[in-house]
Every structure is written in C-alpha cells, then in structure tokens.
Amino acid sequence: MSQGRNWGKCVEIVSKILTELSTELSKTKGEERRSCFCARVDEGKMFYFFGGWVRDGVVRGIPDDDIPDLDMRIESRELADKFLDTVRMCGMVKSSVRDAEGYGLLKIVLVLPGSDAVYPIDINYPHEGADKTKMLCDFTANNLCMGADGSIWTRYFPGNGIVGESKQSWLGTCLRDATNKTLRWMVPKFYTDDSQIKHFKLEDEARRVMLQMEKRQTKMVLKGFEFPEDGTASSVTGFMLPTPE
C-alpha cells in the first residue's frame, strides 16, 4: 500500500544529515575560511528551507500530499555535494540532476527508509556565473524561510528598506500575506524603470525578469492568492507587471 508524504519527517532527516556534515566540514577548513563557515553552522544558517513548503505546509497547514516539492538553500557547493553523496550511499536517491536549469540547483528525488513515498527537493547553492535574476524573490508570501530548529525569518529585505519597517515587522508582513493568501510584489522597481533599463543596457535581463514574474504570478493566482483589495499597496518596491491591454 502506497504511503503519503510526510514532509516534516523528510525535513528532520535531511536536517540531521546536513548538520552532521556541516560540523565535520567545519573541522577541515583553514583558519580564515573556518571562522565564516563555523559562524554559519553555529547560527543554524548553513542551510535552510524556503518556498512553498514553508508558506503552505508550515504557515498555512496545508496537507503534505498537496505540497509538490521542497526548496532548500545550502550555503556551500561542497556541502551540497557531500549531502548528495551521503544520501546516495544510504540508498535514498531515486534521481538527481546537478546544476539544473543552468545555475546552482541540485534537483533530487528522495525516498525515505521504510517508505515508498517520493520527495522531490530543489537545492540551491552558490554557483559561479549563476543567473542572478533567477534568485529574485517575487512576493512577500514567498519570502519566508525556516531553519532546522523551526525558527522562521525572511530571506530578503526589499531594496532600500521600507519606512517604518523593522526586520521583525517585515517578518510579520510576510507571515500575514502568506496566511491571508495576499500577493504583494517585492521585486526591485529597477526592472520596470525604462530609463534605468536603457541606461544600463539591460533590456534582455529586464525582459527575462518580466517573463519569469508573469509565470510566477499566474502560478500563485492558480493557488488562490490575490492582490489586496483593502487599499494596501500591491507592491512594497514599486515593481508592477504591465497591465494587459
């Protein structure tokens, strides 16, 4: 009989493996690199989870089988490689693709011990020459991340900051928008500023960003998210997609 997914169990196992590997790696670094690496390990931010599972599973309590995948960030290519090698040796890997989509992304499908449920995981890691536009966070509801200890924080603070917003109140804004299924852009306004785009000759990059954001907006709308109708801003940065004619 097929078993349903248990993302919480998957996160627990992945976190345990990565915590052990991080500790081992920290002992092999030279003094200069070791201080930075160890600081991240000690802060619990050498790796973290973000995206749909944090937004829908943790914050909104959506059933695990309705969450298609898990997004992760690992702050070291070396650690990401060692993680893949370890889960392979444990017989937990059903499939994997390195540097997927042309940037630092490891797409992996795990099968946990004693279960036949599959767990697709996208692991983002540092990658030289990566397309930075792919790293933009689109909406406040998607700006949440969670550490192995269950603590939640935000991945990005908008461009020049927001008047009156502390990091704690900004976290509250993102949590409310995720809970209320509210869409609020947080992409830098630069990408819709024609004068800036032409001045820096970034037409292709801006066009690519716009196409990406159109797809992401459609995806979120299909999930039932909506732009606010209560008079609050639908963008915290000024970025907006052109209104279709």
Encode pLDDT of 206-225 as tens digits: 888 888 899 999 999 999 99
Asked whether residue 43 falls in the same domain as residue 15, the answer is: yes
pLDDT band at 103 (very low <50, low <70, confident <90, very high): low
**pLDDT for residue 40:** 52
Domain of 62, CATH number, reads 3.30.460
Quick one: 52 and 119 in the same domain? yes
The 10s digit of each residue's pLDDT in 56-91 is 999 999 999 999 999 999 988 889 999 999 999 999
Which residues touch 70 (CB under 8 Å, ≥6 apart)? 7, 10, 11, 49, 51, 53, 119, 120, 121, 122
Count of CB atoms situated within 10 Å of the CB of 5: 21
Q: How far is CA 124 from CA 12, 67, 98, in A?
A: 18, 18, 10
Boundary-marking domain end, from 130, 160, 184: 130
Q: How far, in Å, CA of 60 to CA of 194, rounded?
A: 38
Task: Give the whole-angstrom CA distance, residue 187 versus residue 175.
Answer: 18
Residues 120 and 151 in one domain: no
Share of the chain above pLDDT 70, in %: 82
Q: Does 94 share its domain with 188?
A: no
> What pTM value is reported for the model?
0.86
The residue assigned the tokens 């081992």 is 24
Q: Is residue 228 part of a domain?
A: no
The boundaries of the domain holding residue 33 are 7-130
Structure tokens at 30: 């030279």
Judgement on whether residues 116 and 150 belong to the same structural domain of the protein: no
Please check whether residue 105 lies inside any domain of the structure: yes
**Nearest 5°: CA angle at 216, between 211 and 218?**
95
Decide if 231 is inside a domain. no
Among 130, 158, 192, the domain-final residue is 130
Indicate the Cα dihedral angle 18, 34, 81, 3, nearest 10°.
10
Asked, for residue 172, whether it belongs to a domain, the answer is yes
Q: Give the C-alpha distances (Å, rounded to integers) separating 18 from 52, 77, 125, 143, 238.
A: 21, 13, 13, 22, 38
What type of residue is 232? T
| 50 close to 146: Cβ distance less than 8 angstroms | yes
Q: Quick one: pLDDT band at residue 37, thresholds 50, 70, 90?
A: very low
Q: Of residues 180 and 232, which shows the higher confidence score?
A: 180
* More reliable by pLDDT, 107 or 197: 107
Q: What distance, in Å, lies between the first and last C-alpha atoms of the chain?
A: 51
Which of 97, 46, 94 is closest to 72 using CA atoms?
A: 46
